[in-house]
Amino acid sequence: RKEVEQDPGPFNVPEGATVAFNCTYSNSASQSFFWYRQDCRKEPKLLMSVYSSGNEDGRFTAQLNRASQYISLLIRDSKLSDSATYLCVVSPYNTDKLIFGTGTRLQVFP
Amino acid sequence: DGGITQSPKYLFRKEGQNVTLSCEQNLNHDAMYWYRQDPGQGLRLIYYSQIVNDFQKGDIAEGYSVSREKKESFPLTVTSAQKNPTAFYLCASSTASGRAFYEQYFGPGTRLTVT
């Protein structure tokens, strides 16, 4: 089983739609969680950290479910510029590494 | 402007040659990392360093070498022993080392093609 698993997609949604991605992780002792965004042939950029109580940044909401070992990302009112690959990233407890998922591709169409 | 720079953006080499990829940061970050990304795959950790003059192997260190003589710099050498060197190489840095949260920030990457 992969340490971090994501549905590769693509998720094709119209502008204005709400879309959600889930990501599961295998190490129950994982402590830090992030969502990164990666545009085609570019470097990953930090989108948001994910906190235990859930957190929101504008149109983006991240949730953590420790019991079921998954994190989610909700994007409301999708924009064309949201088209990218979204990487789920987990840091196991007491390590200095990040484990990256393979990403979920989102395509927003007009 | 603070950030991470990688050079060159594109690099072409013949098989059997060693090549060194540059990574510089002026963010005053302690930790630096090297990853490679292949099409359809996640980022895989090659080497990382939490402090000057110290570094650790990641998950796929074979065929690579690094040095960390300065806080700002973490060059990666892809040696001829690396069987599949063609990939997108990403350098990252982080403020935290040895603590829970590791928000890493990435450079623009170097695309290496070996023929």
Are A46 and B40 a contacting pair at CB < 8 A?
no
Per-residue exposure over A39-60, b if at least 16 CB sit within 10 Å of its own CB, e if not: eeeebbeebbbbeeeeeeeeeb
What is residue B39's predicted lDDT score, i.e. its pLDDT? 86
For residues B111 and B107, give the distance between their C-alpha atoms in angstroms, rounded to a whole number.
Answer: 12
What is residue B44's predicted lDDT score, i.e. its pLDDT? 94
Q: Identify the band that residue A97 occupies on the pLDDT scale cut at 50, 70 and 90.
A: confident
Please give the radius of gyration of chain B, using alpha carbons only, rounded to the nearest integer. Answer: 13
Is A10 touching B (CB cutoff 8 A)? no
| % of chain B with per-residue pLDDT over 70 | 92
What is residue A31's predicted lDDT score, i.e. its pLDDT? 82
Residue A78 has pLDDT above 60, yes or no: yes
Per DSSP bridges, beta strands B110-114 and B10-13 are parallel
Rounded to an integer, the average pLDDT of B21-40 is 93
In this complex, which of A93, A97, A102 lies closest to B41 when CB atoms are compared?
A102
Rounded mean pLDDT of chain B?
91
Rounded to an integer, the average pLDDT of B14-41 is 93
